[in-house]
Chain A
Amino acid sequence: MGRLLAVCVGLALGLLARAEDRVSWEITPRVTAPGQPFRLQIVVESDVVLGAGQFISREIKPPRGMALRLSGQIIRPDSNEATFNFSGVAPEQLGEHVIPTFNLRFTRKAVVVPEIRLRVSDQVTYRREAQARAELVLPDRVLFVGELVRGAIRMRGGEDETVVASYGLESLAEGFSMAVTAERQSLPDELGQGLQTTFDLTPIREGVGEFSLNGIMLVQPGEAWLKMPEPGTLNQGGRDRPFTFRRLLTVAHVPERGRPPEWNGAIGRFVAEGLQVSKEEPEVGEPIRLRAILIGEGNLDRILPPDVRGDETWDVLPATERRQNRAEDQRMFVYTLVPRLPGKLRTPPVRLAAFDPTTKTFSRLEFTPLELTVTGNAPAQVDLVTADPAAPAAGQPKPVTGLATPAPNRSSPFFRGSPATSLGDAAGFWPANAAALGLVVAAMTVTGVLGYLAAHPEIRRRRRARAAMRAALAEAEACRGRGDARGFAVAVVRGLQAGVAARLVAEEQAMTQSDVERVLPGADRARLDDLFLRAHADRFAPAAPAAGAGDAAADLALLRRLLATR
């Protein structure tokens, strides 16, 4: 009885004893280099049959910077053991990283996994280029609300591994909207072997937000990419390689300072490609379509159509906008124009402004207007009314045109006159100026002549002497005619004295025969003596007539010779 009681107590203790689970884990390698892939294996042994695993990776919270994904599990239905394999990539930060305690849930029970530690050291020899790796391409700058940010995940193969596929892309980004634009595209040749997934990211809220992106790429060792499996077939030799990115992004609003009034939300770099019209020679009142094509990189889809206003030459009506293929990176704004006047008209200006997030500056864009030839006749009067049917009926301001407000009463003191004729065409302007100029020239000439004469008195003296000589010559001729010998001599001598005195700058009365000889070299001295004696006979006693004396013609020739002397 006692032995039976002991056996029962032992059985009861065995039944009442707490079931103990054993959990072991192993990281290979135990110490990794930054960014080095590793494998984590967790083995669970329980005292009961565990059953199927449920949401195994849901509760596991890897530390910041570590990528960890479940890559395989072994759970037999009739076994109380389970093995889980995880693929991971070590964080870039050195030190010991802890995966906190988490639960592995099975059909029958949940097993607590103790914290797992991974040590990251830079002492470990690891060549990053040898392994496949993922890179996040995203601009490292302040982003702006509404901006279209082009991003990509580049999954690059290494020397020892190739990337053959990717899947499971997950993103967590509050304050952003994300759209994958292309998946699993081959990398450009210059980047080597690999795949890339591109996405568009648009910040929708101001502030600092975390953008996280997780995924898995399938890598194969060696040059297996050269013999990649057919699409749709499972490659058994592959290995999962998770990647995770977390980045703090700063988002701001487009600055208000320097923002042009025509800015309609365009952020990026754009070029006004040009305008197109549906008809180049419309008639007055015939509607035509005007297409403004904008190309460039940026948030083309978010740009509000530029406001194009009508004027006295054009009515502008709203039109349905047609968008081109997004891949073409262009946007088309469509307007309906109605010409109001005939002639050569230019299309109304289409302007917009864009904000460049890289340089943080605004730029203005203007489409070059087209010149159209509008045929037909203009109405008698053009009313400037807006053609926008959505506009309120009253209080609508007149469209802005290039004409200034008339100010017919404005006057300027300097700018008066008539457009008919200029001052130069006025009668009497040029004659009056010419006459005045002639007077001035004449006055200056007279003044100059008088000044010259004043500076050269010999001119007047010789002129007077010549006059006196001519008078004396005439008088001598007269005396000769009436036989007055003395009067003849007096006249000739007076002429000679006048001419010689002007030459020698002396008094006429003081001139003698010697002075005449000085002025007229070679003159007959005897004749001169005879002339002077006859002229001044009343002063001297009578003398014997000299040879050759009494030749009146020779006397006159002497006087004429002196008159001709310059």
Chain B
Amino acid sequence: MKTFALLLFCWLAPLAAAGTAASAEQAYARGDYAEAVERWSAEIRSEGVTAARLAALGNAEWRLGRKGRAMVCWERARLIDPRDPVALAGLRHAHDVGGVERPQASAVEEYAAFLTADLWLLLSVAAFWTTVLCVAVPRLRRRPAGEVNQWTRVGALTVLALCAPGLWGGRVLDARAVVRRPDVSLRLTPTQFGEPLRGVAEGDVVRTERPFNGHMRVRTADGKTGWLRAGEIETVRGPGLPADLDQKAAP
């Protein structure tokens, strides 16, 4: 009886998940974006984060006017899948129409966006170990390296060299954050009453440099540097769902 109940549960669980996903899409299609956000968030919590789910959630958040949360979702979706079409369309739409400012990607960042940071790392580690083994094995065997070994060594070193800008670009891409609060000012100093330099809007993407005194030094899309409170921004690299900034901290 217990076995039968377990089998029944295993059979029903995917059906229930599929039903949740379908209802979220239906809610989105009929314009009930709040419902779509709820259902996709629950799906991400229960089944894990994927680029497609985050991008869909970003669309629903954008429709609700929550630009900061939408940008966080799309940026994180791109961390998982740099070529996710929904996230790319959302970011382009936010930049072109929504007035969101996003730093212009440098050549290294464009290059790094070809793969994810993890894939760059895996590729470079594989190339490194191939090179090491190509050097070590003939020495351990006390035999001269053959022609195949030499070509493999050259190929692995080439791949390693090609991975270097990807790794660097991945680091640069990770060092970004999304402004989550509306009507935020960039401050001259990392202090509570720091002089406001210029305004940044919710949803703007900034490059992060270093934290200090509960603030983060950031560089905006137009090159202006200043300090923002840590609670006003959310780093692109983070857990799947955007942080709930309205939630009070535990006493």
Q: Which A residues contact B (CB, under 8 angstroms)?
A: 311-313, 340-346, 348-349, 369, 371-373, 378-384, 401-412, 414-424, 433, 436-437, 440, 443-444, 447-448, 451
> Given the known A-B contacts A412-B81, A447-B140, are A343 and B56 also in contact in the complex, defined by CB atoms under 8 Å?
no
A371's partner among B24, B99, B122, B239 (CB-CB below 8 A) is B99
Q: What is the CB-to-nearest-CB distance from A347 to chain B, in angstroms, rounded to a whole number?
A: 9
Q: How far is the CA of A42 from the CA of B232 in the complex (A)?
A: 100
Whether B15 sits at the interface, judged by CB under 8 Å, is no
List, in ascending order, chain A residues with CB within 8 A of B117's CB: 422-424
Q: How far is the CA of A383 from the CA of B86 in the complex (A)?
A: 20
> Given the known A-B contacts A408-B53, A419-B54, A419-B80, are A345 and B21 also in contact in the complex, defined by CB atoms under 8 Å?
no
List, in ascending order, chain A residues with CB within 8 A of B136's CB: 440, 443-444
Q: How far is the CA of A320 from the CA of B98 in the complex (A)?
A: 26
Q: What is the CB-to-nearest-CB distance from B89 to chain A, in angstroms, rounded to a whole number?
A: 4
Q: A344-B201, A404-B85 known; 9 other A-B pairs, CB under 8 Å?
A: A311-B97, A312-B63, A379-B65, A403-B63, A407-B52, A409-B52, A412-B51, A440-B133, A440-B136
**Beta-carbon contacts under 8 Å, B52-73 to A:** 52-56, 59-60, 62-65, 67
> Given the known A-B contacts A342-B182, A343-B99, A405-B86, are A423 and B118 also in contact in the complex, defined by CB atoms under 8 Å?
yes
Q: How far is the CA of A422 from the CA of B174 in the complex (A)?
A: 10
Whether B82 sits at the interface, judged by CB under 8 Å, is yes
Q: How far is the CA of A420 from the CA of B85 in the complex (A)?
A: 21
List, in ascending order, chain A residues with CB within 8 A of B54's CB: 419
Q: In the bound complex, do residue A403 and residue B139 qualify as a contact, i.e. CB atoms below 8 Å apart?
A: no
**Beta-carbon contacts under 8 Å, B129-146 to A:** 129, 132-133, 136, 139-140, 142
Q: How far is the CA of A314 from the CA of B118 in the complex (A)?
A: 39
B93's partner among A401, A419, A451 (CB-CB below 8 A) is A401
Total number of A-B contacts with CB less than 8 angstroms? 167
Whether B224 sits at the interface, judged by CB under 8 Å, is no
Q: How far is the CA of A384 from the CA of B83 in the complex (A)?
A: 27
Whether B159 sits at the interface, judged by CB under 8 Å, is no
Closest to A418 in B: B49
Contact stretch, chosen from B2-10, B26-34, B188-196: B26-34
Chain B facing A: main interface SS: helix
List, in ascending order, chain A residues with CB within 8 A of B56's CB: 406-408
Q: How many residues in B have their beta carbons less than 8 Å from beta carbons of A?
A: 71
Q: What is the CB-to-nearest-CB distance from B83 to chain A, in angstroms, rounded to a whole number?
A: 8
Whether B125 sits at the interface, judged by CB under 8 Å, is yes
Q: In the bound complex, do residue B52 and residue A343 qualify as a contact, i.e. CB atoms below 8 Å apart?
A: no
Whether B43 sits at the interface, judged by CB under 8 Å, is yes
Q: In the bound complex, do residue B121 and residue A423 qualify as a contact, i.e. CB atoms below 8 Å apart?
A: yes
Q: In the bound complex, do residue A416 and residue B50 qualify as a contact, i.e. CB atoms below 8 Å apart?
A: yes
Closest 7 CB pairs of A and B: A402-B93, A406-B56, A344-B99, A415-B81, A378-B65, A404-B89, A419-B76
Q: How far is the CA of A444 from the CA of B139 in the complex (A)?
A: 7
Q: How far is the CA of A409 from the CA of B44 in the complex (A)?
A: 12
Chain A facing B: main interface SS: loop
Closest to B81 in A: A415
Q: In the bound complex, do residue A406 and residue B25 qualify as a contact, i.e. CB atoms below 8 Å apart?
A: yes
Whether B96 sits at the interface, judged by CB under 8 Å, is yes
Whether B238 sits at the interface, judged by CB under 8 Å, is yes
Q: Which B residues contact A (CB, under 8 angstroms)?
A: 21, 24-25, 28, 31, 33-34, 40, 43, 49-56, 59-60, 62-65, 67, 76-77, 79-86, 88-90, 92-93, 96-101, 116-119, 121-122, 125, 129, 132-133, 136, 139-140, 142, 170, 174, 182, 201-204, 236-240
> Given the known A-B contacts A408-B52, A419-B49, are A312 and B62 also in contact in the complex, defined by CB atoms under 8 Å?
yes
Q: How far is the CA of A335 from the CA of B236 in the complex (A)?
A: 38
Q: How far is the CA of A411 from the CA of B83 in the complex (A)?
A: 12
> Given the known A-B contacts A312-B63, A414-B119, A437-B132, are A344 and B52 also in contact in the complex, defined by CB atoms under 8 Å?
no
List, in ascending order, chain A residues with CB within 8 A of B93's CB: 401-403
B97's partner among A346, A380, A421, A424 (CB-CB below 8 A) is A346
Q: How far is the CA of A45 from the CA of B97 in the complex (A)?
A: 86
> Given the known A-B contacts A440-B132, A444-B139, are A424 and B121 also in contact in the complex, defined by CB atoms under 8 Å?
yes
Q: How far is the CA of A64 from the CA of B64 in the complex (A)?
A: 74
List, in ascending order, chain B residues with CB within 8 A of A410's CB: 52
A415's partner among B43, B82, B237 (CB-CB below 8 A) is B82
Q: What is the CB-to-nearest-CB distance from B232 to chain A, in angstroms, rounded to a whole number?
A: 15
List, in ascending order, chain A residues with CB within 8 A of B81's CB: 412, 415
Some 11 contacts from A to B, beta carbons below 8 A apart, are A343-B203, A371-B99, A372-B99, A381-B31, A401-B93, A402-B96, A403-B86, A406-B55, A411-B50, A417-B80, A424-B117
Q: In the bound complex, do residue A416 and residue B142 qualify as a contact, i.e. CB atoms below 8 Å apart?
A: no
Q: In the bound complex, do residue B40 and residue A408 qualify as a contact, i.e. CB atoms below 8 Å apart?
A: yes
A423's partner among B89, B92, B99, B122 (CB-CB below 8 A) is B122
Closest to B204 in A: A344
